[in-house]
A = this chain, B = another copy of it.
Amino acid sequence: MVAPLDVGHRFQQASNLALNEVVARRRAAGEPLVHLGFGESLLPVPPAVRDWLADGAGRTAYGPVAGDTAVRAAVAGYWERRRLPTAPEQIIVAPGSKPLLMALMAVVDGDVLLPRPSWVTYAPQARLLGRPVHHVPISARYGGAPDPDALRETVRGARRRGGRPRLLILTLPDNPTGTLAPPEAIRRLCAVAADEDLLIVSDEIYRDLMHSPDLPFLGPAEVAGDRTVVTTGLSKTLGLGGWRIGAARFPEGPLGAGLRAGVLAVASEVWSTLAGPMQEVATRVFAEPPEITAHVRAGARLHGIVTRAVHRIVTAAGADCRAPDGGFYLYPDFAPVRHRLREHGVTDAESLQRHLLDRLGVAVLGGHHFGDTPTALRFRIATSLLHGDDDEQRGLALRSPAPERLPHVASALAHLTHAFGTLTAGEGTTPA
């Protein structure tokens, strides 16, 4: 008999995917839950996309690790239309943007700098590769990017203590806060990156889901093009999470070429290439024909309406919460009503997540999963699963002029109003 192997301390399943499986089991058992715990878009996929998959069925051979020329040209065109001149030689496609992010951390020999809070997977990927992580606070106005002054201070402090901070990861717009770092912040961050010789990864997987097309978007690749890698994917904008299609754009010049060669090396040893039929889909989608653009735009509008509705609910219940700019997340802070929550035995992010799930039928991910202070009363809300339980309901929401008034959406919002109201109503105890 061989001894059990204790891997639990070192490896735990990604908290968002794990929670998603818990919610699926409880719902299958009949529990009425409002699922705000998983950032998955299930909006109906345009029918043409399914045809494109079938068109790619003949692509059974391995092909180049980076993806074939056609798919890389399509992705380059996508970034060209976003003010970033791009050659196909700067592109790699992959089964999702996750493995690309992991490969970038593997290739850059140095520590990782993350906003606090930031997406659940960045820090575990760094741990998997033995890369130290430095968390840098965000400002009160936006997330996805650290406060520039705090970044400089963290880098210098880490170096004084023998650390080697090198790779800064930004999320534009952000998961978990749903906000976009403004152009001025990006310029200041790029200046710090230049002074301190940092490389930047700009995770722009939510970029096409800005709620208003008028909000100015400035990515670090436009400011610090020689040191910025941009990543994206089709999971969020097109509801294709289960197809695993991601892409990265590397800088022009020797640094970019070296980074890309390193990521290709890791790719060749870990995932070989993006599956051929998925390369066919990516070739067609990244070309952005009008049916795709219109579909993405409609989804962005829907996400904006529903996310703002939930924002009103949590702020009415007493939370502080940055107003959302894009994607489908909110990151409320219940510190202003900490005394009320204590009446329910809720004293930190973990007990808050548990109380919401077990007592109030609301699944969220506590801020501790995002690298945030465990004692803070913060959590992430994903609104992307509020549009309905099946394709018919979700299609209705996508086309409706007032989706928040559709009965199935309104009833979920009413559940939330009641749940957060109950959480913070309290018994009138005096704040301690």
Q: Are A128 and B108 in contact (CB under 8 A)?
A: no
User: What is the bound-complex CA distance between A55 and B133, given in angstroms?
Assistant: 43
**How does the 8 Å CB contact mask read for A16-35 relative to B, with 1 for contact and 0 for none?**
01101100000000000000
* Residue numbers in B under 8 Å from A64 (CB-CB): 21
A140 CB within 8 Å of chain B: no
Contacts of A11 in B (CB 8 A): 106-107, 261-262, 265-266
Instruction: Please determine whether B98 and A272 come into contact, CB atoms closer than 8 angstroms.
Output: yes
Check if B17 sits within 8 Å of A65, measured CB to CB: yes
Complex contacts, A109 vs chain B, CB 8 Å? 10
Contacts of A271-327 to chain B: CB distance below 8 A: 271-278
Q: Contact string, A251-275, partner B, CB cutoff 8 A, digits 1/0? A: 0001100110110111011111111
Residues of chain B lying within 8 A (CB to CB) of residue A380: none
Q: A57-B50, A273-B244 are in contact. Are A268 and B17 (CB under 8 A)?
A: yes
A124 surroundings in chain B (CB, below 8 A): 265, 269
Chain B residues, Cβ within 8 Å of A125:
269-270
Stretch of A1-9, A75-83, A352-360, A397-405 that contacts chain B? A1-9
Q: Kindly name the residue among A96, A125, A275 whose own CB sees the greatest number of chain B CB atoms within 10 A.
A: A275
**Measured between alpha carbons, how far is A265 from B11 in the docked complex, in Å?**
6
Q: Do A4 and B254 touch (CB < 8 A)? A: yes
Q: Is A102 an interface residue (CB 8 A)?
A: yes
The complex is assembled from copies of this chain, and their number is 2
> Residue of B at shortest CB range from A54?
B54
Known contacts A4-B255, A264-B13, A270 near B18 by CB under 8 Å: no
Which partner residue on chain B sits nearest A108 by CB separation? B5
- A59 close to B (CB within 8 Å): yes
A121 interface contact, C-beta 8 A: yes
**Contact pick for A270, options B3, B99, B241, B265, CB 8 Å:** B99
Give the interface size bracket for A toward B.
35 or more
How distant is A102 from chain B, measured CB to nearest CB, in Å?
5
Evaluate whether A3 and B265 lie within 8 angstroms (CB atoms) in the complex, with A21-B64, A243-B275, A276-B243 already known: no
Q: Is A226 an interface residue (CB 8 A)?
A: yes
Is A62 touching B272 in the complex (CB atoms < 8 A)? no
> B226 touching A1 by the CB < 8 A rule?
yes
Question: Is A431 positioned at the interface, with any CB of B under 8 Å from its CB?
Answer: no
Q: Mark A101-134, 1 if CB is under 8 A from B, else 0.
A: 0100011110000000000010011001110000
Q: Is A346 an interface residue (CB 8 A)?
A: no
A95 close to chain B: CB less than 8 A: yes
Does A216 count as interface, using CB distance less than 8 angstroms? no
Bound: A241/B21 CA distance, A: 30
A432 at the interface (CB under 8 A from B): no
Q: How far is the CB of A72 from chain B (nearest CB, A)?
A: 14
How distant is A238 from chain B, measured CB to nearest CB, in Å? 9
Q: Name the 4 nearest CB pairs between A and B, nearest first.
A: A7-B262, A14-B268, A11-B265, A4-B254
Query: What are 27 inter-chain pairs, A to B, with CB distance below 8 A?
Result: A2-B197, A4-B258, A5-B262, A7-B262, A7-B265, A10-B262, A13-B65, A13-B268, A17-B268, A21-B65, A42-B61, A50-B57, A60-B241, A61-B241, A62-B242, A95-B271, A95-B275, A102-B269, A128-B129, A128-B269, A130-B130, A241-B272, A242-B273, A243-B275, A243-B276, A275-B278, A277-B277
Known A128-B269, A277-B277; further 18 A-B contacts with Cβ < 8 A: A4-B255, A7-B262, A8-B261, A10-B262, A11-B106, A11-B266, A17-B272, A18-B268, A20-B62, A21-B65, A45-B60, A53-B57, A60-B241, A98-B272, A99-B271, A102-B270, A125-B270, A242-B273
Q: Which residue numbers of A lie inside 8 Å of B, CB to CB?
A: 1-8, 10-14, 17-18, 20-21, 38, 40, 42, 45, 50, 53-54, 57-65, 95-96, 98-99, 102, 106-109, 121, 124-125, 128-130, 194, 197, 199, 226-227, 239-244, 254-255, 258-259, 261-262, 264-266, 268-278
